[in-house]
Amino acid sequence: MVQWTDFERATIKAIFAKIDSAVVGPAALSRCLVVYPWTQRYFGKFGNLFNADAIRSNPNVIAHGKVVLDGLARAVQNLDDIKATYAELSVLHSEKLQVDPDNFKLLADCVSIVVAAQLGKDFTPEVQAAFQKFLAVAVSALGKQYY
């Protein structure tokens, strides 16, 4: 089981208390779709993903970005059992959506970049270390039901 220090717990919770999932989520998902264009293949039914502007203003991308961030917030509420919290979500991504799990890390990195930009000088190396650890655990849990 993952061990969290008091600082890590407090830091992860403070970040999620501070950020707006309806801002960070769409920004991170659209960044992922632009920077790693092969990730677009899973969102065929989302409509126009023709260029960066189209991706950023696509209402489906905006809505789904919030869904993803709210999914991460669920892990924050269950830091001591992220694996069980994500069991169903992992099955969904592997069996139904067939998302290559390498992509989880790419989206997580985009979340980091957007959060870093929002937090500015408060995103110290220590804060980043706690946040990256959280994201790594979430990514690993999402990949758990793959075989």
31 burial class (0-12, 13-18, 19+ CB within 10 angstroms)?
buried
Among 24, 34, 99, 115, binds ligand HEM (CB under 6 A): 99
Counting residues that bind ligand HEM (by CB under 6 A) gives: 18
Note whether 134 binds ligand HEM by CB under 6 A.
no
Taking the CA atoms of residue 129, residue 93, residue 1 and residue 113 in that order, the dihedral angle to the nearest 10 degrees is 0
Taking contact as CB under 6 A, which single stretch among the options 18-26, 76-84, 99-107, 126-134 is the one that binds ligand HEM? 99-107
Give the whole-angstrom CA distance, residue 49 versus residue 47: 6
Assess 42 for contact with ligand HEM (CB under 6 A): yes
Q: State the helix-helix crossing angle for 21-35 and 102-119, rounded to 10 degrees.
A: 130
CB of 56 to ligand HEM, least distance (A): 17
User: Which residue's Cβ lies closest to ligand HEM?
Assistant: 71
- Give the containing element (helix H, strand E) for 141: helix 125-142
Enumerate residues 17-36 that contact ligand HEM by CB under 6 A.
none
Residue 90 within binding range of ligand HEM, rule CB under 6 A: no
Structure tokens at 38: 């092969």
43 binds ligand HEM (CB under 6 A): yes
- Regarding 108 and contact with ligand HEM (CB under 6 A), the answer is yes
Cβ atoms 13, 93 nearer than 8 A: no
67: contact with ligand HEM by CB under 6 A: yes
Nearest to 20 by CA among 81, 57, 69: 69
By CB under 6 A, name the binding residues for ligand HEM: 39, 42-43, 64, 67-68, 71-72, 89, 92-93, 97, 99, 103-104, 107-108, 142
